[in-house]
Structure 1
Amino acid sequence: MIEYVVASKDDKELLMQSRLEMLRVVNELPFDYEFSKELIDNSREYFNSNNQTTVLAIDECVIGCATICYIEVMPTFSHPTGKRAHLMNVYTNSKYRRQGIALYMLNLLIKDAKEKGVTEISLDATELGKPLYKKCNFVEADEYMVLNLK
């Protein structure tokens, strides 16, 4: 039976395990790919922050994860709380896909965001993920511009 857990700081190693698995799969990296120390250290530190909520799906081991990152910006007319969020790290192990696991995790995170007064959730979707997000009423938008500073 699949258990859904809102991860705490005590679950940091499970969070890291699922995050690195997701990054390998999404980026088509080999199983033994070595991530940079910078990425690993900063990811661990981020999971210590209170600026995110991560849900883990567990069936003897972690089989799925989804994270929502909370962002506060200056309030506007359309977003009077200034509270926004960005959905990331949505992943289900290939053996468990098409069972509603990711949808369940997303719904938990959307509920959490509503309870926190968030007025907008953004995400970067893969083609594989778009049908899932559309089920949750996300719409494609071209309203923003990006300046990449790296």
Structure 2
Amino acid sequence: MTIRKTNQNDIGTLMQIRLEMLRIVNGLDENAPFDKTLLECSREYFLKGEQTTVFAMDGDKIAGCASLSYINVMPTFDHPTGKRAHLMNVYTRSEFRRRGVGKMMVEYLIEEAKSRGVTEISLDATQMGHPLYKSLGFNDNGEGMNLSL
């Protein structure tokens, strides 16, 4: 199993695997349609967004993917660079689960974040993913609040 960064040539495959993951996570039929805005914005994000996305490869088969979105905020004492990241879309195809694929991708992205001076990585975990993130040192954080607009 190898981990490789994606590039613009991967856009078709990136979109395909993202929609596959969204259907599964949201309990949708495999042919469920998606909103045009979601599709356009996802495509734009992969092409121009401040992110790193990786594929886990088993030979020429894609076993999974994961993305790290970079966020710049005002520096603080705890985060002097102001560079933070949000881990998302960690997805392993069913036939490759329970083999450490998710862990390999997240470890790769953690190292990538460190190399960019990121001082904090946040994420939203599913119940299935929670043990993986705990094993990698992520902590539950009940301090935050948000406002949906």
TM superposition score category, shorter chain reference: over 0.9
Displacement over 4 Å in runs of 4+: none
CA distance in 2, matches of 1:34, 1:61: 25
Structure 2 residue identity aligned to 1:3 = T
Alignment correspondent of 1:83:
83
Q: Is the 8 A contact 2:15 2:42 kept in 1?
A: yes
Q: Unmatched 5+ residue regions in structure 1?
A: none
Contact kept? 2:63, 2:101, Cα under 8 Å = no
Number of residues of Structure 1 aligned to a counterpart in Structure 2: 148
Partner of 2:16: 17
1:105-144: CA deviations, max 9, x gaps? 0000000000000000000001110000011100100111
CA drift of 1:3 comes to 3.4
In structure 2, runs of 5+ residues without a counterpart are none
Distance 1:37 1:3 in 2: 33
**Superposition CA RMSD, Å:** 1.0
Instruction: Report how far residue 61 of structure 1 moved.
Output: 3.3
> Which stretch of the first structure deviates more once superposed, 56-65 or 74-83?
56-65
> Which is further off, 105-114 or 49-58?
49-58
TM-score (norm 2): 0.96
**In structure 2, C-alpha distance between the alignment counterparts of 1:77 and 1:123, rounded to whole Å:** 22
Native 8 Å contact 2:3 2:108 kept in 1: no
In the alignment, the residues of structure 1 paired with residue 2 and residue 104 of structure 2 have an alpha-carbon distance, to the nearest angstrom, of 11
Q: Work out whether residues 14 and 62 of structure 1, in 8 Å CA contact, stay in contact via their aligned partners in 2.
A: no
Q: Could you state the TM-score of these two structures normalised by the residue count of structure 1?
A: 0.95
